[in-house]
Amino acid sequence: MVTLAELQSREAVADASARAWRIAAAVPDPEVPVLTIEDLGVLREVSVDGDRVTVTMTPTYSGCPAVDAIRDDIVLALTGAGFAEVEVRLTLTPAWTTDWMSEAGREKLRAYGIAPPTGRASVGGPIRLQLAVKCPRCGSLDTRELARFGSTSCKALYECRACLEPFDHFKVH
C-alpha cells in the first residue's frame, strides 16, 4: 500500500521533471536560433533527483561546434529557474538523425528561409536520392546546389533559379 506522503513525493518529482524538461526544451539552437533543442531533436532525457537535474542530449554530429554553447545555455536556464545543480551529458548512441526533428521545427525552418530536410534518413535500406529541394521563399523546385556546406556543416547552400535567392538546405542525415 502506498502512503499519501509517497504519492505526494512522486507527484512532486514528476512535476519537477516536467518543469525541468520544459525549461531545457526551450533553449534555442545557437546556430539556428529559430529552433529550440527540442525542435531539433537533440534533447533526449531530463531527470530530476532533488535539486539535481541531469540532461542528456545527442549532438547533431560528434564534431558539432555548438555543443558547448548548448550545454552552457541549458545550465544557465535551469540554474536560473532555481535548480541547484545541473549536469549535461552527451550521448552519441544512437546517432542523431534529422528524423528526430519535430514537424513544428521543420515548419519553423521553412518560415525562417531554410529548406527543411525532406524524406527519412537511410537506416539499413536503400539510399533515397533527393531530386530537388523546394525553395523556402517561393516554393519552386527549380533549384541547384551551390556548395555542399552552407552556413553550418549540417546545411548545404542552394540557389533558386526562379526567384534567384540563395538559401540554406538542412541536409538529411
- Asked if residue 31 and residue 57 are part of one domain, the reply reads yes
Report yes or no on whether pTM surpasses 0.85. Answer: no
Residue 37: half-sphere exposure toward Cβ, Cα within 13 Å: 28
Kindly report the average pLDDT of the chain as a whole number. 88
Mean pLDDT value of segment 20-26: 97
- Asked if residue 19 and residue 84 are part of one domain, the reply reads yes
- Asked if residue 85 and residue 9 are part of one domain, the reply reads yes
Tell me which residue range forms the domain holding 45: 4-90
Q: What is the CATH number of the domain that holds 74?
A: 3.30.300.130
Per-residue pLDDT tens for 92-149? 999 999 999 999 999 999 999 999 988 666 555 565 566 789 999 999 999 999 999 8
How many DSSP H helices and E strands does the chain contain?
A: 4, 7
* Residue 97 resides in a domain: no
What integer pLDDT is reported at residue 127 of this predicted model? 57
Given a contact cutoff of 8 angstroms between Cβ atoms, the answer to whether 58 and 91 are in contact is yes
